[in-house]
Chain A
């Protein structure tokens, strides 16, 4: 049974930088969704429309009853974690930022930490989104979780969001003693826009001589503002985050600089020309989503730069399939692969 597709065997996706020609300009039809994911998608699409525009951002930020935010009580896993919100200094000249801190109770020695950055296309979401899964892992690893509430685009364009994320990381590393965290074992983690921001934070930490990260965990990361890979084109109008939604998200962050020649790698990590010197990296993505090719390319370029990366491309997965349809067989396998990576890295 094929569960992951090695990057080298993607015969249907020419490299993004290949010369456009009549043959390669139009990718073939989209890969089919996994049967279980496709069936669930029809229900999900009733709640998640592909009609995102700059105007509908406020509406999309309203709480979705399908995905309620977890309470402190839920996040404490029955008292295993002490959960608090803490205001810490933001970037120079910017407001304080809020960190949700979940610390394992009764840990004798300092443990690892997962520094979590939520997703939401750069324009929505909050620092509780996606946390139950992360705290579930942390509970088995004796790890603390710190989840940053960064300012969102378009109200706060680049570099506000990524600088907020970075400031929270710097504060966390500097207060490791107080938090009972081993500052040498901090893993930055995020999904979707959070994955893109996590990758950008890792680049910043490398380039500014900031906290030495122990790993970067990038779930279906949003890395490339150019929005022109074969998968971005191929999946237009399909799934839950398509070419048009992606354009709205990046434009909110970068304005008319989206797709320009000199976009910063700290905004769009796919723009980085140097991917050496990064911590061990986990990347996963679905074969049937906008971000497939940029995620595969990022892992490939880390290897080419002599780095350590683990890449999973789940066949027939749409964006966020594993979170939205956790019970599907392919989602269970994707979750198991994520947990395995954390366990090998930290346990």
Chain B
């Protein structure tokens, strides 16, 4: 039996004086070791294009001090069709691509049908180094039918001024490999001829991140991040093609796209958060600029509104996005023009703006478990989607994409 210290004896006497002798009382308290978060996520594009059903699980183990282990797993089932890059036409045509069917109907946007499964895992470990600093390390792995990814990352954070200021610096490295079922197509070759090579291609990405978080008051904070990202290797989308058209705008052939084999870009991110007695407003702005000539701005506003003591809340969400086109982006290519080295008709590289409207409803219990339902609508609005070719009159060459995103999540 452990002997009581003098102070222990004093506290025991004080408790006895207050409450009398407490017979048979004991304490059974344990720190909860694991926290789990699970989300069922669905993403559905309009016009029955891409749909994604995803299940995501995350487990966080908190240690005695501040160390923390995070494990994540997600499984996705993707299916549907995405624009191939070929333009719609009034004349029916048939095209095949390495990924399987390309369905082309008169006056409709040519789409590539596909199905894919994705499984991804991640692990992260947070070490407290000293009282005011910590190291976060992690790795990520994912596997799709035609894509593999492996990455490592690490970041260091240091607190200053009573922990009111935190500065962090980190890096990420990833090595990906692209291996389409029917091989890698030969860039800029005629897609109708189906010329492919069989070997897989690789892509490497390096990210650097620097950030500052400043607590302004007990109820507000600002965050500023700068990121540099550099990708090298095979950056094409092996399923994307571009149409060559004659002087009337009739498709003559479709060529596989070709992008530069490197891309480097800068990101600047600023966010400000206000907590007004449980009603939290978050505004953020992100600026991106890269050597493909794409620059983009993202404005994001969320406001969490508490609904009474039981922890119910609603959170409307508004996001506005705007990007310029890549310098090698073309809607289509006149056949009178020499084929440039780099060219793509991928709608994601076009000039467009997009708006997201979202709504979250959450229920939070004092046990620390919380449930949330999220519904978002995304609408992309491309800037250039018409041409003055006779044969393309009345066609929408890039209708953009709209999507409905629904998720239900629980933390326990």
User: Do A and B form a real pair?
Assistant: no
Chain A interface (Cβ within 8 Å of chain B)? none
